[in-house]
Structure 1
Amino acid sequence: MRIALIEPDVRHAKLVDRLIFAGGHVCRHFTTSAPFLQQAVDEFFDLLITAGWAGDHPAEDVIPHARAILPGLPVIVMMSAPRESQIVAALHAGADDCLSKPVRGPEMLARVEALVRRAGLRRPANRRHDVIGGYAFDAAHFAVSFRDVTVILTPKEFRLALLLFNNLARPVSRAHILETVWARRRDVRSRTIGTHVSRVRSKLQLRPELGYCLTPVYGYGYQLDAIPQEAAVQTG
């Protein structure tokens, strides 16, 4: 799940990001609401977690703007030692839930999962495009476009590629791959995962000289890294 986080407090944002990652989700951090609202026009988010003061506007003002771009977007508001009146104001503004800062890991993840279940999250058909690192993912057609090329992947290859790009520069465990790509089936062999990784690497041209490196992480899974242009040129 792709979660947008608006948090001016960078130290607290790092804590929330670690918790979201531990829960198996992807977090995009924004220090104010303006860049988030701009990004939401082109990039889909499944959930918004915002501080009560979003760096440039109160959460009560951000929520309607966010939902004008992403209708039905679930929202959690974080507040420091909130008074009852503040919680009521946030809920009346459209927040689905409220959390006290600093957040507590198990509670936050439990509330996120509960909200996901209640919302029955479904990505709208007209918002099934993600652009990450120069690669445009079209979920409606299992197509990926990059460098003026469009490649059609199988559904499993597409889910695997999107998972790797969503976790750029982070190792992705085989267990997480199985859960995301094969719906938690445990009879899938490691060799099958490796074959799909190899196909994704080839079809999407994930090579150092072209700016990306997809490598196995011994005993754990796989990791996709972006190679800086200077390094890519030297490698080539």
Structure 2
Amino acid sequence: MRIASVEDDPDQADLIRKILGEAGFECESYATGAALLRALREQAFDLLVVDWQLPDTSGFELVSWVRQTSGAMPPILFLTSRTAEDDIVAGLSVGADDYMLKPIRSAELLARVRSLLRRAYPETARETDIIRRGSYCLDPRARTIALGGEPVSVSPREYELALFLFRNMGRLLSRDVVEQAVWGRSIGTGSRTIDTHMSRLRIKLALRPENGVRLTSIYSHGYRFEEADAGDGGHA
């Protein structure tokens, strides 16, 4: 799991990175909100740890921006030295999923991080489990896709891309993450390969709200594939 931590105090940043790293997580540290936002445009993280007091912005504004841009994912844990109930409620109301009071305690930080990750990415499905979402059924063993009970013909690469999308519903997926997961390498910024494959899947699988899903392109970042109500309308 990849975690991004934004903390302007170098000692605190090192401590967070050390605690998470020793627990087996990959943690990247950023000293400012602006640095984190730049990273989020190029990378995907499974969880954010956000200090509430930053030199260039507030954790409140940062969390608000992430939620407006990325939706409900990734989960966000905010760290604060403020104990007033109003401050904590404000942080949770704007979109943070949990909070932790400073000073940082190793066991508590790990407990809260693991709890958020379990809630956000439940490990209930095995790699070979059949996936049913909306009007779709994907069988990883047979490597088949059915829409409304009818089989859909896709290429091997299109199948891998579709399987990756259905296994990561609700997450904001950067182009780099898609490239590494489906192609096993970085394709390059000038390539239209991903866009072409996504366009083909939209058509072949009819990825529209009336079938229970929505595929959205996020400018300069990547894609979000999520469940949708048939009556939502709009464009997918």
Range into which the TM-score falls when normalised by the shorter chain: 0.5 to 0.7
The correspondence for 1:144, drawn from 167, 177, 185, is: 185
What count of residue pairs does the alignment treat as equivalent?
144
Kindly state the Cα deviation for residue 137 of structure 1 after the two structures are TM-superposed.
Answer: 4.8
Kindly state the Cα deviation for residue 123 of structure 1 after the two structures are TM-superposed.
Answer: 4.1
Kindly state the Cα deviation for residue 112 of structure 1 after the two structures are TM-superposed.
Answer: 0.6
Gaps of 5+ in 1: 149-236
Question: Aligned runs of 1:31-50 on 2, under 5 Å?
Answer: 31-50=31-50
Letter in 2 for 1:39: A
Letter in 1 for 2:77: I
Kindly state the Cα deviation for residue 126 of structure 1 after the two structures are TM-superposed.
Answer: 6.7
SS at match of 2:185: strand
Kindly state the Cα deviation for residue 27 of structure 1 after the two structures are TM-superposed.
Answer: 0.8
Kindly state the Cα deviation for residue 6 of structure 1 after the two structures are TM-superposed.
Answer: 0.6
SS at match of 1:107: helix
Q: Is the CA contact (8 Å cut-off) linking 2:6 and 2:49 kept in structure 1? A: yes
Q: 1:129 to 1:146 in 2, by over 3 A?
A: closer
Residue in 2 that maps onto 1:177: none
Q: Is the CA contact (8 Å cut-off) linking 1:50 and 1:59 kept in structure 2? A: yes
Letter in 2 for 1:75: I
Q: Is the CA contact (8 Å cut-off) linking 2:179 and 2:187 kept in structure 1? A: no
Kindly state the Cα deviation for residue 3 of structure 1 after the two structures are TM-superposed.
Answer: 0.6
SS at match of 1:53: coil
Q: Is the CA contact (8 Å cut-off) linking 1:40 and 1:69 kept in structure 2? A: no
Aligned-pair identity in percent equals 33
SS at match of 2:86: helix
Whole-Å separation in 2 of the counterparts to 1:76 and 1:85:
17
Kindly state the Cα deviation for residue 117 of structure 1 after the two structures are TM-superposed.
Answer: 1.2
Residue in 1 that maps onto 2:14: 14
Pick 1 or 2: higher relative contact order, CA cutoff 8 A, min separation 6.
Answer: 2
Q: Is the CA contact (8 Å cut-off) linking 1:51 and 1:59 kept in structure 2? A: yes
Question: Aligned runs of 1:205-220 on 2, under 5 Å?
Answer: none
Whole-Å separation in 2 of the counterparts to 1:147 and 1:67:
28
Whole-Å separation in 1 of the counterparts to 2:188 and 2:46:
27
Residue in 2 that maps onto 1:78: 79
Kindly state the Cα deviation for residue 30 of structure 1 after the two structures are TM-superposed.
Answer: 0.7
Whole-Å separation in 2 of the counterparts to 1:142 and 1:24:
25
Question: Aligned runs of 1:1-236 on 2, under 5 Å?
Answer: 1-72=1-72, 73-120=74-121, 123=168, 127=173, 129-130=175-176, 137-139=179-181, 141-145=182-186
Gaps of 5+ in 2: 123-166, 190-236
Q: Is the CA contact (8 Å cut-off) linking 2:44 and 2:172 kept in structure 1? A: no
Kindly state the Cα deviation for residue 84 of structure 1 after the two structures are TM-superposed.
Answer: 1.7
- CA shift digits 1:68-105 (9 cap, x unpaired): 33322211110115222211111111111111112111
Q: 1:126 to 1:34 in 2, by over 3 A?
A: closer
Residue in 2 that maps onto 1:198: none
Q: Is the CA contact (8 Å cut-off) linking 1:4 and 1:49 kept in structure 2? A: yes
Q: Is the CA contact (8 Å cut-off) linking 2:3 and 2:46 kept in structure 1? A: yes
Whole-Å separation in 2 of the counterparts to 1:113 and 1:10:
24
